């Protein structure tokens, strides 16, 4: 089973991916935890270019194609092999992030973005997508705290965008969830991590037991 976590900056995806991985592992499942952009050495190098605030001159088309390239490598090296081994794959962002950020946020044509996603994904789509939703002010405040506390490179190119950009991204995610209600689960992320984790487990575990 392939599960993805989506949402605006600072919505708590990374924390919730780890918590769900712990829950599923404790229940005896084999779990692969990964992220985008990145997840393997080549894609991680692309990530460093995409998220570096020094690259704010990057045009939207370059951004889109870099995400597609990183995704193609990630799928080939990590996601498809893990699924073929029967593992549950939990991915922090996937193709819906490209739709939300590059179509709704940047204004690129959605049909073009679907073509890039199709080339990168070769027919693979998530079985279930957890959309962690919270107000943009809440998410950005959390994201800035995380960046300031981190010891590595400051991955903040998107956090430096205007509030209107982040609102378009949030609205885009909500639009996507309304378009595919059978795949998306909308999670109230404006709560403490334990409450959010309970919501996610309540949504995932019944679906998982039905597929195994």
d(CA 88, CA 92): 13
Count of alpha carbons within 13 Å of 68, Cβ hemisphere only?
18
pLDDT confidence band for 211 (50 / 70 / 90): low
Q: What is the per-residue pLDDT across 181-193, written as a single tens digit (0 to 9) for each? A: 999 999 999 999 9
Mean pLDDT of 108-129: 97
**Mean per-residue pLDDT for 100-128?**
97
Task: State the average pLDDT for the chain.
Answer: 93
Note the pLDDT of residue 142.
Answer: 82
Q: What tokens were used for 85?
A: 């081994």
Confidence of residue 148 (pLDDT cuts 50, 70, 90): confident
Q: Round to whole Å and give the CA distance between 206 and 208.
A: 5
36 CB contacts (<8 Å, ≥6 apart)? 43, 67, 70, 71, 74, 91, 92, 93, 94, 97
Question: Please, what is the end-to-end C-alpha distance for the chain in angstroms?
Answer: 9
What domains can you pick out in the chain, each with its CATH number?
2-211 (3.40.50.300)
pLDDT greater than 60 at residue 168: yes
**Which of 2, 178, 10, 1 lies closest to 99 in space, CA to CA?**
178
Give residue 208's pLDDT.
84
The answer to whether 106 and 63 have CB atoms below 8 angstroms apart is yes
Q: What is the largest CA-CA distance in the chain?
A: 47
Residue 198, pLDDT > 50, answer yes
Residue 212: per-residue pLDDT: 45
- The DSSP symbol for 151 reads S
Q: Give the mean model confidence (pLDDT) for residues 68-79.
A: 98
Asked whether the whole model's pTM tops 0.85, one would answer: yes
């Amino acid at each position: 089973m392939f599960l993805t976590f989506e949402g605006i900056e600072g919505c708590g995806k990374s924390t919730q991916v780890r918590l769900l991985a712990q829950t599923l592992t404790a229940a005896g499942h084999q779990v692969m935890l990964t992220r985008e952009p990145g997840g393997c050495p080549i894609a991680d190098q692309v990530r460093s270019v995409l998220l570096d605030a020094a690259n704010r001159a990057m045009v939207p088309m370059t951004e889109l194609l870099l995400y597609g390239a990183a995704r193609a490598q990630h799928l080939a090296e990590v996601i498809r092999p893990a699924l073929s081994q029967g593992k549950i794959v939990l991915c922090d962002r996937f193709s819906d992030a490209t739709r939300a950020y590059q179509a709704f946020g940047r204004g690129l044509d959605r049909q073009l973005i679907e073509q890039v996603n199709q080339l990168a994904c070769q027919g693979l789509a998530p079985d279930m997508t957890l959309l962690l939703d919270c107000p943009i002010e809440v998410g950005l405040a959390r994201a800035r705290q995380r960046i300031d506390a981190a010891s590595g490179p400051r991955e903040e190119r998107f956090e430096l965008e205007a509030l209107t950009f982040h609102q378009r991204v949030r609205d885009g995610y909500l639009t996507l969830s309304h378009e595919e209600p059978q795949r998306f689960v909308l999670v109230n992320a404006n709560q403490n991590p334990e409450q959010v984790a309970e919501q996610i487990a309540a949504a995932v575990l019944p679906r998982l037991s039905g597929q195994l």
